[in-house]
Amino acid sequence: MTTTQSQTTEVVDMITLVIDGFEVSVPKGTLVIRAAEKLGIQIPRFCDHPLLDPVGACRQCLVDIEINGRAFPKPQASCTIPVEPGMIVKTQLTSDVAEKAQRGVMELLLVNHPLDCPVCDKGGECPLQNQAMSNGQAESRFEGTKRTFEKPINLSSQVLLDRERCVLCARCTRFSEQIASDPFITLNERGALQQVGIYEEQPFESYFSGNTIQICPVGALTSATYRFRARPFDLVSTPSACEHCASGCDMRTDVRRGKTLRRLAGDDPTINEEWNCDKGRWAFKYITALDRLAQPMVRTSTGELVVTSWPEAIAAAAAGLSGAKAAVLVGGHSTYEDAYGYSKFARIALGTNDIDFRARATSDEERDFLAAHVVGSHATYKDIDKADHVLLVGFEPEEESPIVFLRLNKQVKKRKLKVTSIGTKLSIGVEKLGATFVKVAPGSEAAAIASQSLTAQSLILVGERASESAGALSAVAALAAQSGAKFAWIPRRAGERGALEAGAIGNLLPGGRPVTDAAARVDLASAWSVASVPTTFGRSTKEIISAINSGELNALVVGGVDPLDLDNSSETLSALKKAFVVSLEIAPSSVTERADVILPVAAVTEKSGSFLNWTGSARAFDTAVADSLNRSDVRILSMIADALGKTISLGTVSAASREIASLGPWDGARATFTATPERSAA
């Protein structure tokens, strides 16, 4: 055994062994099946999964093992045996015994497995199908009657079960217990009667149930939305990023004939590993909804919305905005590039800093906190892995950022990570984490935060709800400064961090440049090739709505904002009636009902771009539906700007990406954040 020293001074014990005649050194504790993978040797398996605890259920990975000249009396499951010094392993490639054992196991697995391949959704990407060809018998000796069950069983509205296909690998049950902490599926009975099922008194409910479909190796668990829809070779697969929350999950979008049929979790060890939540997996039907906006519309003098051409709609939008006192509201689901387009459009085409991406309850304290402490910061998922204590403030991870919940849950199970949550109500997700819950009255969070004892190894995760409690964000900043703890802001929506970095807020220009900093304004004006950019502090969402109702503003560009998300929705609806409204939207809404010009925009699968997740990392994605006629927000904004005679030169998403990269983050003085008396705890 040898030892190596990593860059973090951690000493790693290395074990040297021989597999199929090849010597390999791996860290102590590595399973034999993983050591073989390092050599490029593929041992067949069904129950084994690198992110689940070993169980040795299927026995398909049997190999011959010898240690210091002493052979095991029979083949062993390579997915359960850790490597040892002097170990000699022979897989099916070099051992007739191992090959015969694997063929025998495969034959037994196929005794009751139905010949559903022509109709099974797993066909074409099925490990059982592939390994039956590579490690099974050419002909079956079984002549009896196969076991059959009623199928499919609806475990939920999205997950279907074909019990007769199951090979009892226990992947789904281990995922539910070990990863999701939702024991929603189990193995019932024993022996020949054993089968997958659900609990009688406990519903099949989890935010992560769809992962059981993806990791099922045989098609026993299938998706109701994808069942019988397509074969893998019919699909065009595109790497993508999830648009629903700030976790930043790696995804794969599968399209057939221009229609999105399914979305799967991608494999990114630094973010979502191999998991995603059910919303990310199945919430894509809005893209193909029958009420999707497909053509531009303009309101006539009679008050009727009529379909028109793109040139006419752009001209109408420009005419209404020309000379108007306008503001911009950006939704939290905009891509980084689109948010940058809105930011530049507001400053150059409209000549204003009245722009805000926070289509929700907000505060001035949050605005200043984001400018001083969040923009440009880069806390990561690794900080969760290394933290000795995680404090949750105004943040419910399972509800608001499910992959953050899974990462916290992993560390709680792995090393008993201490988690503390400050809030008004104990949630199910926080309870699953075994967190210490500090219950407070609404508005008194600041005092509870100040009373926490943290260290430099601690991490504070702040949700957007903290902005609703006066002094909470000031208390977070003070606690972090006093203890040396890191902190991160985790919004609910996927586009909010990118919108912040893009300057889609009244107190910041792109790249974290403070509006009040003359040098920052000059730097940006030079990059944009304009004489100057607006100098006045921009209004917040609430202030913009009030200004329209009072007559100070008379025009509004709205990109993906739902008034129902705002704490003053009635005032917002009133403002929409008073102002000239240009709406960039995917589907009809209360905004489009009142808009003067409606411009349909591309959904996330119909364009390329990126989201910045809560860590500030760009999660890029490509166009999945290439033949879509819908345009990206940034292209539409560029067309309106051209019609106004105020060119912003952002005709494509790639142009926006290049400009963002060339502009870069601000390297000058950052905005300051001072705890005012009304922000501090009582």
Does 186 fall in a domain? yes
Of 468, 491, 514, the residue that ends a domain is: 491
If one counts every other C-beta atom within 10 angstroms of the C-beta of residue 96, the result is: 10
What the block records as the tokens of 102 is 């694997």
CATH number at residue 68: 3.10.20.740
Structural domain that includes position 266: 142-287
Residue 73 domain-assigned (yes or no)? yes
Report yes or no on 136 lying in a domain: no
Q: Are 509 and 503 in contact (CB under 8 A)?
A: yes
CA torsion through residues 367, 372, 378, 382, sign: negative
Residue 63 lies in a domain: yes
User: Are both 564 and 578 inside the same structural domain?
Assistant: yes
Residues 88 and 221 placed together within one structural domain of the fold: no
- Considering the domain architecture, whether residues 481 and 511 belong to the same structural domain is answered as no
> What is the pairing mode between strands 418-423 and 389-393?
parallel
Q: Provide the angle, in degrees to the nearest 10, between the axes of the packed helices 569-578 and 541-550.
A: 50
The residue assigned the tokens 């792109």 is: 510
Q: Is 667 exposed, middle or buried (0-12, 13-18, 19+ CB in 10 A)?
A: exposed
Helix (H) or strand (E) holding 213: helix 210-215
Output the pLDDT for position 2.
Answer: 58
Total domains in the chain come to 4
- Same domain (yes/no): 330, 388: no
- Tally of CB atoms within 10 A around 140: 12
How many CA within 13 A on the CB side of residue 278? Answer: 19
Distance CA 604, CA 653 (A): 12
User: How far does Cα 20 stand from its chain's mean position?
Assistant: 41
Is 117 within a domain?
Answer: no
Within a domain: residue 668?
no
Interatomic CA distance for residues 276 and 284, integer angstroms:
14
Instruction: Pick the last residue of a domain from 438, 457, 491.
Output: 491
The CATH number of the domain holding residue 331 is: 3.40.50.740
Domain boundary among 434, 463, 491: 491
Asked if 379 and 462 sit in the same domain, the reply is yes
Domain of residue 188, CATH code? 3.30.70.20
How high is the mean pLDDT in each 10-residue block of the chain (682 residues)?
55 92 96 97 97 96 94 95 96 96 94 91 94 88 87 92 94 96 90 85 88 96 95 94 96 94 96 96 93 95 95 98 96 96 98 96 93 93 97 97 98 97 95 96 94 96 94 96 96 96 97 96 96 95 96 96 86 94 96 96 95 96 88 97 96 96 92 59 34
CA separation, residue 203 to residues 156, 173, 433 (Å): 9, 14, 20
Which position has the token pair 């009636």?
A: 577
384 and 271, same domain (yes or no): no
Q: What is the pLDDT of residue 565?
A: 85
One-character DSSP codes across 388-411: SEEEEES--HHHH-HHHHHHHHHH
Q: Are residues 547 and 659 in the same domain?
A: yes
Who contacts 9 (Cβ-Cβ below 8 Å, separation ≥6)?
A: none
The candidate with the shortest Cα–Cα distance to 116, out of 235, 195, 209, 227, is: 227
Q: Is residue 5 part of a domain?
A: no
Looking at the structure, tell me whether residues 440 and 331 fall in a common domain. no
Query: For residue 680, what pLDDT is reported?
Result: 39
Residue 574's Cβ-count burial label (10 Å; 0-12, 13-18, 19+) is middle
Give the pLDDT confidence score for residue 4 in this predicted structure. 57
What CATH number has the domain bearing residue 485?
Answer: 3.40.228.10
Residues 382 and 402 in one domain: yes
Q: What angle do CA 188, 406, 36 make, to 5 degrees?
A: 75
Instruction: Check: CB of residue 220 under 8 Å from CB of residue 165.
Output: yes
Q: Are residues 283 and 319 in the same domain?
A: no
pTM of the model: 0.93
Do 281 and 386 have their domain in common? no
Task: Flag whether 103 is in a domain.
Answer: yes
Q: Are 355 and 372 contained in the same domain?
A: no
Contact 596, 298 (CB under 8 A): yes
Contact 361, 567 (CB under 8 A): yes
Do the beta carbons of residue 254 and residue 237 sit within 8 Å? Answer: yes
Going by C-alpha positions, the residue among 218, 43, 193 that lies closest to residue 129 is 218
What three-state secondary structure class fits 627? coil
User: Which pLDDT does position 1 carry in this prediction?
Assistant: 55
Here the tokens at position 665 are: 């983050």
